[in-house]
């Protein structure tokens, strides 16, 4: 089938409780979503896959979980206080606020078929720079001097802990520090589902290298990160690397390339890989007065490491996985919606389904399920017609369905149905755990 529309993906996520608007009983809140049961499992699998690639399968990266609220000088040093802004205009007529640099993609508040500023009634203010960081304050009294910020990227916590990590982790450049956690940005632009949200999880790794090696590590991480998405089952044809033009570069970046995915909204950023040079460590060194350099004893060389940063978004990875996996086909003349997710990220690996709710089927199915769930994420479902139960599992991307029927009670075998091929195989119960774990690894 052709690539799905965003509406189709959004509808499936809502129907199956993967992801849905937050605060819905109050009418929702802009660009904010909640993850339901299957969404949580999918997200956990994505994050686990990232940790596996960054930590378990390497010995040059260590983990970190730094605070969301850091010392406010952090954002002075990083340049976010002065430079992390979007140009915004207000419309005095419809009272809506728009990104000044996105007017051509936005709809007028009065006449949605027009762009802001296009109707005679539109009355736009001059563009003003608007900082994207959320402010709050420490302590019971709101006064100046107490102002702190919710981090707009996880990266800065890594730079603040560079010296501590260097000391305890006994690593030398090239080495990396990886972190997964929430970041917050006061985004005004309409979000396109979970593509752009106010709070979002980032998977970021700062790789500290000798300055002369920055170029080669930049190339290395671009390829490694692209390969990671392909290994998660995303179609290589719908992924591309795009180097930023000089006028697009962030204030800290010497070079950046985005891994883009062909979302229903067009090619858009999934992950950014940046060569941040020594910008961040040098800035923090200057403002904190702490030396943030590496001393290489054998050579007697002292330097501020350069940083290569692969920075991925959990939400955008999930959106790419969902768009890529979404498919529709026909079984026996009936339309089927199916998520052809890679088994490694599928929320549930196998569903155990008793054919009947009598004749000993539920008891046998329950025993099989309880053994299976010790090894993989499994689900027991006895409710409704068997066809409907298959459809439900297809829609959440469960790769395998195990059906318990009359024959199971006679010869201790079950049918193993494969989500994509729909092939059904008769498998001895004794071999089930082995088969399921091998297929869904």
The site for ligand GAP (CB under 6 A) is made up of 153, 155, 185, 187, 196-197, 200, 202, 204, 269-272, 309, 311-313, 315-316
Please, which residue, 109 or 313, has the CB nearer to ligand GAP?
313
Token digits of residue 423: 């092939």
Is there a contact between 32 and 20 (Cβ–Cβ < 8 Å)? no
CB of 138 vs ligand GAP, minimal distance in Å: 24
Please, which residue, 109 or 315, has the CB nearer to ligand GAP?
315
Please, which residue, 311 or 321, has the CB nearer to ligand GAP?
311
Token digits of residue 434: 């082995």
CB of 77 vs ligand GAP, minimal distance in Å: 14
Q: Tell me the C-alpha distance between 241 and 15, whole Å.
A: 33
CB of 49 vs ligand GAP, minimal distance in Å: 15
Token digits of residue 26: 């109050």
Q: Tell me the C-alpha distance between 187 and 185, whole Å.
A: 5
Please, which residue, 108 or 314, has the CB nearer to ligand GAP?
314
Reported residue count of the chain is 441
CB of 152 vs ligand GAP, minimal distance in Å: 7
Q: Tell me the C-alpha distance between 347 and 311, whole Å.
A: 24
Instruction: List the 97-99 sheet strands across, edge first.
Output: 97-99, 85-90, 128-131
Please, which residue, 32 or 107, has the CB nearer to ligand GAP?
32
Please, which residue, 133 or 433, has the CB nearer to ligand GAP?
133
CB of 377 vs ligand GAP, minimal distance in Å: 25
Q: Tell me the C-alpha distance between 347 and 377, whole Å.
A: 7
CB of 270 vs ligand GAP, minimal distance in Å: 6
Please, which residue, 161 or 309, has the CB nearer to ligand GAP?
309
Which of 47, 20, 45, 44 shows the shortest CA–CA distance to 34? Answer: 20
Please count the other Cβ atoms lying within 10 Å of the Cβ belonging to residue 359: 13
Can you say whether the dihedral through the CA atoms of 140, 142, 147, 153 is positive or negative? positive
CB of 310 vs ligand GAP, minimal distance in Å: 9
CB of 262 vs ligand GAP, minimal distance in Å: 15
Going by their DSSP bridges, the two strands 255-263 and 147-149 should be labelled as: unpaired
**Nearest residue to ligand GAP on Cβ basis:** 313
CB of 90 vs ligand GAP, minimal distance in Å: 21
Q: List Cα–Cα distances, 95 to 188, 197, 412, in angstroms.
A: 13, 22, 68
Which of 171, 173, 224, 194 shows the shortest CA–CA distance to 50? Answer: 224
Please, which residue, 32 or 437, has the CB nearer to ligand GAP?
32
Residue 271: phi and psi, rounded to 5, are -150, 150
Residue with tokens 């009670």: 409
Please, which residue, 159 or 369, has the CB nearer to ligand GAP?
159
Which of 441, 371, 438 shows the shortest CA–CA distance to 404? Answer: 371
């Amino acid at each position: 089938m052709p690539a799905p529309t965003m509406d189709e993906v959004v509808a499936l996520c809502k129907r199956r409780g993967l992801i849905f608007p937050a605060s819905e009983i109050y009418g929702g809140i802009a660009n904010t979503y909640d993850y339901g049961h299957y969404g949580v499992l999918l997200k956990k699998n994505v994050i686990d896959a990232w940790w596996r690639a960054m930590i378990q399968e390497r010995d040059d990266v260590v983990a970190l979980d730094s605070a969301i609220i850091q010392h406010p000088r952090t954002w002075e040093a990083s340049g976010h206080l002065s430079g992390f802004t979007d140009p915004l205009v207000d419309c005095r007529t419809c009272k809506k606020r728009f990104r000044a640099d996105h007017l051509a993609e936005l709809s007028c508040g009065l006449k949605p078929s027009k762009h802001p500023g296009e109707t005679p009634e539109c009355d736009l203010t001059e563009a003003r720079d608007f900082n994207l960081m959320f402010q709050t304050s420490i302590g019971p009294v709101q006064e100046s001097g107490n102002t702190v910020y919710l981090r707009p990227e996880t990266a800065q916590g890594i730079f603040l802990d560079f010296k501590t990590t260097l000391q305890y982790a006994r690593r030398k450049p090239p080495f990396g520090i990886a972190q997964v956690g929430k970041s917050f940005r006061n985004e005004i632009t309409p979000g396109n589902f979970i593509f752009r949200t106010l709070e979002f999880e980032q998977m970021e790794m700062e790789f500290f290298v000798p300055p002369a090696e920055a170029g080669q590590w930049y190339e290395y991480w671009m390829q490694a990160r692209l390969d990671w998405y392909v290994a998660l089952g995303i179609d290589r044809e719908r992924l591309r690397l795009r180097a930023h033009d000089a006028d697009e570069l962030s204030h800290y970046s010497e070079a950046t390339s985005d891994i883009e995915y062909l979302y229903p909204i067009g090619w858009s950023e999934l992950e950014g890989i940046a060569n941040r040079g020594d910008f961040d460590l040098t800035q923090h060194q200057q403002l904190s007065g702490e030396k943030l350099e590496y001393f290489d004893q054998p050579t007697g060389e002292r330097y501020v490491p350069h940083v290569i940063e692969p920075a991925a978004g959990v939400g955008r990875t999930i959106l790419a996985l969902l768009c890529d996996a979404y498919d529709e086909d026909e079984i026996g003349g009936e339309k089927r919606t199916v998520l052809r997710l890679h088994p490694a990220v599928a929320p549930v690996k196998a569903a155990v389904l008793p054919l009947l709710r009598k004749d000993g089927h539920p008891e046998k199915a329950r025993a099989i399920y309880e053994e299976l769930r010790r090894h993989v994420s499994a689900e027991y479902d006895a409710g409704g017609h068997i066809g409907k139960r298959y459809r439900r599992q297809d829609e959440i991307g469960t790769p395998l369905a195990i059906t318990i029927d009359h024959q199971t009670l006679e010869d201790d075998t079950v049918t193993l149905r494969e989500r994509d091929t729909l092939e059904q195989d008769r498998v001895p119960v004794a071999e089930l755990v082995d088969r399921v774990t091998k297929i869904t690894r």
